[in-house]
Homo-oligomer: A and B are copies of this chain.
Amino acid sequence: MAKEKTLGLSIKKADNLAEWYPELVLKSELAEYSAVKGCMVYRPTAMSIWETIQNYFNPVIRKLGVKNAYFPLFIPESFFKKEAEHAEGFTPEVAWIEAEPGEERLAVRPTSETIMCDSFARWVRSWRDLPLRINQWCNVVRWETKQTRLFLRGREFLWQEGHCLYATEAEADKEVALFMDEYVKLVETHLAIPVIVGKKTRKETFAGAKYSLTMEALMPDGKSLQCGTSHNLGQGFVKAFNITFLDKDEQTKHPFHTSWGISTRLIGAVAMTHSDDKGLVLPPKVAPNKVVIVPIIFEDSREKVMAVASQLADALSAHEPILDDRDGYSPGWKYNEWELKGVPLRVEIGPKDVEKQQCVIVRRDTGEKAFVPLANAHDAVDKMLTEMQQALFDKAKAFLDANIVEVKDWKDFLKQTAARKLVLADFCGEPSCEEKIKDKTEGVTSRCIASDKKHGTVCVQCGEPAKMSVYFAKAY
């Protein structure tokens, strides 16, 4: 059977997610490997998802006072070394340009705190210049030595990085949370991915940050995926780059610094979360084409079926429908192809449907069929797209909720993490203890601190006093 079905996936999601995922990404034509190790090609469907994210998010942040800019790809080595923790955190994975004789070595940006702060020092003079909120959409490079995975971990990826300066720490704290809230809205409403949100433990905090907020999604194999972060960077970079402003009280002060980012990793998250053994499943809001119309052609009725199919395509034009009128492919073949490629709704129209003035609408995620009068097709499509968007979120939310397990002792911690649960446990907060947890579990790490949870008294691993309740899981 499997060999006949040349279009489908050969690996089942439930059997082996680690092998199913790359097959899904490649066969659905989201992406392909490139000749450059660790780098990938973003094919049109993936780019369209990213552009949808950009088109949603740009107006959101503009309203919050953010302006887009663009800073150089290359960062002088000396900049990089000005903030000690940051340098230590990033240096192992920096790609360097072959230097010309007598010129300073240049890094390919892994992130832009340093080069932006160099400019901000010139841009900020007075309290009138604050808050300063700058964002850029760009490519970044991290010379990963770990195994790379399409979208999830690569040597080059696309992201946005917002970098803001504030006169007071209270404003900085407020907006670190504000931008995280906007990320959560984005992933929940558009990508239909529920997340848990919280602070990172000290060990997992961004190199150079005072604290980091993260949103974490639970993938179907029980691994957690960090989907976006928002950092309070304190004054480390600001002091290293000597950014000061004259405040209303005539005092010269250092501003407070934040940064926040999401990346094309989200494309991998959305594909992995919703897709199935037939191929890609995309939430309607991020699918480039929300409908495919497949006319069922017989020679004697070709003309009238195609006429109705074309009218339907016009009626559904807001959803950028594909009208698949190719000769030489059977309807069944076409169904498989568009299921593989993740078009949310399929509209079938054959000669009998034309007689009855109806069409058949099939939902990609559930296979649910609706027989709909042609005159109602537009409204029915709208309704089914809305329902599908919500259903994907609800399903993912139910999975997340069902897989969070609170544990009270180390034995249960081992058992539940081995069962790939997202484990909530009391924790001492010490990096050294976290390192031990990682070692003893083959890679379980803290994902975030549960802010809304009162913690118990004893750390699940070391038995020292607990200071927080923390989500633990293996992570991508």
Given contact pairs A35-B76, A74-B36, A138-B139, A69 touches B47 in the complex (Cβ within 8 A): yes
Question: Which of A50, A70, A79, A139 has the most chain B CB atoms inside 10 A of its CB?
Answer: A70
A35 CB contact (under 8 Å) in B43, B46, B115, B158: B115
A98 at interface by CB-CB < 8 Å: yes
Smallest beta-carbon distance A81→chain B, Å:
13
Give bound CA distance, A155 to B74, whole Å: 10
Interface residues in A245-300 (C-beta closer than 8 Å to B): none
Give bound CA distance, A386 to B43, whole Å: 39
A89 at interface by CB-CB < 8 Å: no
In the complex, what residue of chain B is closest to A116 when comparing beta carbons?
B41
Give bound CA distance, A75 to B128, whole Å: 45
A39 at interface by CB-CB < 8 Å: yes
Interface string of A86-97 (1 = CB under 8 A from B): 000000000111
A156 at interface by CB-CB < 8 Å: yes
A325 at interface by CB-CB < 8 Å: no
Give bound CA distance, A47 to B62, whole Å: 13
Chain B residues near A96 (CB, 8 Å)?
97-98
Smallest beta-carbon distance A422→chain B, Å:
32
Chain B residues near A115 (CB, 8 Å)?
34-36
A174 at interface by CB-CB < 8 Å: no
Give bound CA distance, A51 to B54, whole Å: 11
Inter-chain contact A97/B108, CB cutoff 8 Å: yes
Give bound CA distance, A151 to B361, whole Å: 51
A47 CB contact (under 8 Å) in B36, B48, B51, B68: B68
Give bound CA distance, A69 to B70, whole Å: 20
A440 at interface by CB-CB < 8 Å: no
Interface residues in A32-80 (C-beta closer than 8 Å to B): 32, 34-37, 39-44, 46-48, 50-51, 58, 67-76, 79
A70 CB contact (under 8 Å) in B35, B41, B72: B41
Q: Which 10 pairs of residues, A with B, have the shortest CB-CB distance?
A: A44-B67, A39-B72, A42-B70, A96-B98, A47-B68, A36-B74, A34-B72, A36-B72, A47-B69, A73-B156
A positions within 8 Å CB-CB of B: 32, 34-37, 39-44, 46-48, 50-51, 58, 67-76, 79, 95-98, 103, 106, 108, 115, 118-119, 122, 128, 134, 138-139, 141, 155-156, 158, 326
